[in-house]
């Protein structure tokens, strides 16, 4: 018979359901076929006939079939390659008959061997056809060294990293001692540079708002930072509380921005009218007494809870704009 096809290798992708694969090329013996399974990680395993698979169709011009004992999974690949032993097994005896079948079988095997060699050569690196370079050889592997052309450009040689750096090239990843990060990705680079988890989170933020969110921080009011401070800030900021007594704020004059107010009866939040814009925080002990608010205030947050151990009332006043934010502490 003749071998009209140049195909001698076939690769199939696994799908977790197919275990029978056609071999679309002729092979004379089962031993001539190699089966290689490549897993999802790219690791190749040479399978063993009978143990891992069975073959049928040896000697058929149309090819044969391989049945795997284990079905390849999705993401895996299975390769079938014809790789006959490179031996000549036909013995011609002088004056004996010259059977055509025997002679053709020997020619078929030589063709198969040539195709197997061609498949290997197709996977090698070679110079272009117009190249004048010849006789180039790979040097023996040297740990930690790089493969490079020699000074005359006629052969390959091993070079240590300092030699490569000296001719203007940079090894990646660049070590920290050399001004790099020692990594090829952002997360490992931040760890190598000593960033904490918080620092790493901030370092990867694209803008100020994202950075503040990563820190769980509240931005300062830019209006305050840009304003004429003596005209805006009326009270003295201090860690000490200003103590207030009374059932309203008619006679109250803020000297600090934090006020402690213990109710002694049902009271009214009214009468606070500073000349300049102001922000105050009242820490109120309800003591079960009710506190009502004048209608000029706009409310945010919780409703006032007289049974809470402490109620924080934040007041922002800017002219006729009066805003109140209430936060009740949880009872212990």
156 falls within a domain: no
- Residue 332 reports pLDDT greater than 50: no
184 falls within a domain: yes
Least confident span in 7-11, 179-183, 262-266: 179-183
Nearest residue to 288 (alpha-carbon basis) of 260, 264, 270: 264
> Do 235 and 184 have their domain in common?
no
> Do 5 and 106 have their domain in common?
yes
> What span, in angstroms and rounded, lies between the C-alpha atoms of 197 and 191?
9
Unique residue bearing structure tokens 């190249």: 131
- Residue 187 reports pLDDT greater than 80: no
Nearest residue to 191 (alpha-carbon basis) of 207, 212, 173: 173
153 falls within a domain: no
Sequence-distant contacts of 255-260: CB under 8 A, at least 24 apart: 257/281, 258/283, 259/283, 260/285
pLDDT bucket at 30, cuts 50 / 70 / 90: very high
> Do 5 and 104 have their domain in common?
yes
pLDDT bucket at 232, cuts 50 / 70 / 90: very low
Burial class of 213 by CB neighbour count within 10 A (0 to 12, 13 to 18, 19+): middle
- Joined together, the tokens standing for residue 245 give 């007594």
> Do 215 and 322 have their domain in common?
no
> Do 110 and 208 have their domain in common?
no
Average pLDDT over residues 41-51: 95
88 falls within a domain: yes
By the 8 A CB rule, do 107 and 90 touch? no
| More reliable by pLDDT, 16 or 131 | 16
Q: How many helices (H) and strands (E) does the chain have?
A: 7, 17
Mean pLDDT of the chain: 83
> Do 10 and 103 have their domain in common?
yes
213 falls within a domain: yes
By the 8 A CB rule, do 243 and 279 touch? no
Nearest residue to 33 (alpha-carbon basis) of 41, 44, 22, 42: 22
Q: Report the domain count for the chain.
A: 3
> Do 187 and 259 have their domain in common?
no
What is the percent of the chain where pLDDT is above 70? 86
> What are the pLDDT digits (tens) for 162-186?
665 555 556 667 777 777 777 877 7
> Do 6 and 113 have their domain in common?
yes
| More reliable by pLDDT, 53 or 95 | 53
Domain with residue 53: its CATH number is 2.60.40
Strands (E), the chain: 9-13, 20-23, 33-38, 44-46, 53-56, 64-68, 77-82, 146-149, 156-159, 242-244, 258-262, 267-269, 278-285, 291-293, 297-301, 311-318, 321-328
> Do 104 and 5 have their domain in common?
yes
| Positive/negative CA dihedral, 126, 128, 133, 134 | positive
| More reliable by pLDDT, 73 or 121 | 73
264 falls within a domain: yes
pLDDT bucket at 265, cuts 50 / 70 / 90: very high
Q: Which domain holds residue 35?
A: 1-92+99-119
> Do 235 and 314 have their domain in common?
yes
Average pLDDT over residues 196-201: 70
What is the percent of the chain where pLDDT is above 90? 32
What lies within 8 Å, CB to CB, of 165 at 6+ separation is 171
Average pLDDT over residues 217-233: 52
> Do 110 and 20 have their domain in common?
yes
Average pLDDT over residues 40-65: 94
128 falls within a domain: no
143 falls within a domain: no
> Do 195 and 83 have their domain in common?
no
The shares of helix, strand and coil residues in the chain, as percent rounded to the nearest 5, are 20, 25, 55
| More reliable by pLDDT, 160 or 222 | 160
> What are the pLDDT digits (tens) for 135-150?
888 899 888 788 888 8
- Residue 73 reports pLDDT greater than 70: yes
């Amino acid at each position: 018979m003749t071998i009209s096809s140049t195909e001698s290798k076939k690769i199939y992708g696994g799908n977790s359901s197919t275990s029978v694969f056609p071999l679309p090329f002729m092979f004379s013996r089962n031993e001539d076929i190699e089966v290689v399974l490549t897993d999802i990680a790219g690791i190749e395993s040479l399978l063993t006939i009978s143990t891992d698979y069975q073959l049928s169709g040896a000697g058929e011009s149309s090819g044969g079939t391989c049945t795997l004992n284990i079905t390849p999974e999705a993401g895996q690949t299975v390769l079938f390659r014809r790789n006959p032993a490179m031996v000549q097994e036909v013995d011609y005896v002088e004056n004996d008959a010259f059977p055509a079948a025997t002679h053709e079988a020997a020619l078929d095997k030589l063709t198969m061997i040539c195709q197997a060699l061609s498949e290997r050569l197709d996977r090698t690196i070679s110079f272009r056809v117009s190249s004048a370079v010849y006789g180039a050889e790979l040097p023996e592997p040297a740990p930690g060294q790089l493969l490079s052309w020699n000074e005359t450009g006629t052969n390959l040689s091993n070079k240590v990293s300092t030699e490569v750096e000296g001719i203007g090239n940079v090894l990646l990843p660049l070590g920290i001692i050399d001004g790099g990060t020692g990594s090829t990705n952002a997360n490992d680079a931040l760890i190598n540079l000593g960033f904490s988890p918080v620092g790493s989170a901030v370092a990867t933020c694209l803008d100020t708002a994202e950075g503040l969110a990563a820190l769980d921080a509240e931005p300062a009011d830019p209006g305050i930072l840009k304003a004429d401070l003596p005209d805006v800030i009326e009270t003295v900021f201090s860690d000490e509380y200003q103590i207030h007594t009374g059932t309203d704020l008619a006679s109250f004059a803020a000297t600090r921005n934090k006020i402690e107010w213990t109710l002694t009866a049902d009271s009214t939040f009214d009468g606070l009218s500073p000349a300049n814009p102001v922000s105050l925080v009242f820490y109120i002990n309800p003591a079960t007494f009710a506190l009502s608010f004048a209608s000029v205030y706009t409310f945010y947050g919780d409703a006032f809870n007289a049974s809470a151990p402490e109620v924080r009332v934040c007041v922002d006043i800017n002219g006729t704009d009066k805003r109140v934010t209430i936060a009740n502490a949880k009872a212990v």
